[in-house]
Amino acid sequence: MPTLDAMIAVSLAGLALSASPGPSMLYVLSRTVGQSRKAGLASALGLCLGGIILAVATALGLATVFQTSDWVVTTLRYVGSLYLLWLGFDMIRSARAEAKVTLGVEKVQQQPLTAIVWQGVIVEVLNPKTVLFFALFLPPFINAGDVLSAGATVQVQLLVLGILVPLTAIPSDLAVAYMGGTMANVMNRERAVRERMAWCGGVVLIGIALNLHLQIL
């Protein structure tokens, strides 16, 4: 099992990322406004299931890679940390510009709820950015000692931490699905709040990346 510190860090990072408007949030919003609240909830469920599928695939794939040699483990840990730093600095850098963007929704075709769920799964699984995120985000949080001793232990760590990522997106997706257009209006009106949220999210990601190696906390 991953350490409690690792689970807390991954949860905080996931919350920081999901709190900022992105493609997934706009996808749920479009379904809610364009069809119904139930459709928005179905799309959020699909995205979550797609994330869990990616978490399982990542756990199986990376655990095998981790057992090949020591340098792969070390390299992925540092590359993943740099990726976290980049995400954090990018959120801060683009905070003001992103806050000025007016959130809107696209027209969507009316579909059955089951079809919307499967569409959400496909959107998440086939998103190359999401696949890259899982591959680079998880390695820094894996216990290096366990990596070299037991492949099954590594798989469990990757699986638990990976599943935490889509689970942390549930609160924001549910809020968007439930509030719909009201949420969009509030976020468009409170642009300063959106900018501060992006700054806070970026600082959290940078702090987590630094703490992975400096052990500040």
Contacts of 70 (CB under 8 A, 6+ apart): 148
Q: Is-contact 120 49, C-beta < 8 A?
A: yes
Residue from 9, 59, 51, 57 nearest 27 by CA? 51
Angstrom distance (rounded) from CA 1 to CA 143: 9
What local confidence, expressed as pLDDT, does residue 72 receive? 73
What local confidence, expressed as pLDDT, does residue 49 receive? 93
pLDDT digits (tens, 9 = 90+) for 163-211: 998 888 888 888 888 777 676 666 667 777 777 878 888 888 898 888 8
Question: What DSSP designation does 103 have?
Answer: P
Enter the pTM of the model.
Answer: 0.79
pLDDT digits (tens, 9 = 90+) for 194-206: 778 788 888 888 9
Question: What DSSP designation does 35 have?
Answer: T
Low-confidence spans in the chain with pLDDT less than 50:
147-149
What local confidence, expressed as pLDDT, does residue 182 receive? 72
Residue identified by tokens 């090949």 is 68
Ordered by start, the domain boundaries in the chain are 4-214
Angstrom distance (rounded) from CA 6 to CA 212: 9
Q: What are phi and psi of 130, to 5 degrees?
A: -70, -40
Residue type for position 67 = Q
What local confidence, expressed as pLDDT, does residue 28 receive? 84
**76-88 per-residue burial string, b: 16 or more CB within 10 A, e: under 16:** bbeebbebbbebb
What local confidence, expressed as pLDDT, does residue 108 receive? 66
Residue from 162, 187, 196, 167 nearest 22 by CA? 187
Angstrom distance (rounded) from CA 14 to CA 125: 17
